[in-house]
């Protein structure tokens, strides 16, 4: 097994709680959605992954759609 295959296999075995939280930014206003922090004021608990945020959720700053967010590289 190559190093790349071993790394891929190890990553695929991580549970959801072991995968690092990601940060998403609104491309219209710059608002940051941090998966670790969630958005409690909108009923989104800390630790909520982006794919679990409701599709009809909107940016709390500018009301942009969820599709107007991009994942930020950290």
CATH number at residue 23: 2.20.28.10
Query: Could you give the number of structural domains in the chain?
Result: 1
pTM: 0.73
Residue 30 lies in a domain: yes
Asked if residue 62 belongs to a domain, the reply is yes
Task: For residue range 37-73, list pLDDT tens digits in order.
Answer: 999 999 999 999 999 999 999 999 999 999 999 999 7
Q: Which domain holds residue 58?
A: 19-72
The string of DSSP codes covering 11-62 is HHT--TTTSPP-EEEETTT--EEETTT-BGGGTB-TT--GGGS-TT-B-TTT
């Amino acid at each position: 097994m190559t190093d790349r295959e071993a790394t891929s296999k190890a990553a695929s075995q991580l549970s959801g709680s072991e995968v690092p939280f990601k940060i998403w930014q609104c491309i219209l206003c710059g608002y940051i959605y941090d998966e670790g922090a969630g958005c409690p004021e909108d009923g989104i608990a800390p630790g909520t992954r982006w794919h679990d945020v409701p599709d009809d959720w909107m940016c709390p700053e500018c009301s942009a759609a969820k599709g107007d967010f991009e994942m930020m590289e950290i």
